[in-house]
Amino acid sequence: MLTSECICTHLRRAARGVSRHYDEALAGFGINVAQFSLLRSVQRLDKPSITTLAEAMGLERSTLGRNLRVLEAEGLVQLADGDDQRNRLVLLSEEGRARLQAAQPAWEHAQAQLVTQLGDGQRDTLVRLLEQLA
């Protein structure tokens, strides 16, 4: 592994490793961690607009739109008209709810493994540092 002082390099390498960890845990459910996170955000926000969802997830609308099209094609979300034609709502389908419910224990196990690896104190410190950088 190359050594570097670059924070971005270390964050990107760590992000790839963490994503791989969750992706492996979720592999049997036909979704990756980015899709799981998106579905959970839709569930938590309860029928968000695309704009609201993009802001909550820190994504560009165009990036979110591409990801939503994949989930919509798989029947996990539905897009509905909002207050006006420019503002579409994202709805979690019954299949999306079922997929989230089925995958939740695998996500929780992956999460617990990382917390065990880091320890509660380091996890809390890491989360605070990442929030500060975000």
Domain ranges of the chain: 32-133
pLDDT of residue 83: 75
Tens-binned pLDDT, residue by residue, of the chain (134 aa): 667 789 999 999 999 999 999 999 999 999 999 999 999 999 999 999 999 999 999 999 999 999 999 999 999 999 998 777 677 899 999 999 999 999 999 999 999 999 999 999 999 999 999 999 88
CA distances from 85 to 49, 67, 74 (A): 11, 20, 24
* DSSP tag of 27: G
Domain 32-133 class in CATH: mainly alpha
Strands 77-81 and 88-92: antiparallel
Contacting residues for 43 by C-beta, under 8 A, at least 6 apart? 92, 96, 97, 100
82, two tokens: 């909002």
pLDDT of residue 85: 64
d(CA 8, CA 14): 10
| N residues, the chain | 134
pTM confidence score: 0.88
Q: Count the Cβ atoms, other than its own, within 10 Å of residue 76.
A: 24
In the chain, what is the greatest distance between 2 CA atoms, to the nearest angstrom?
Answer: 52
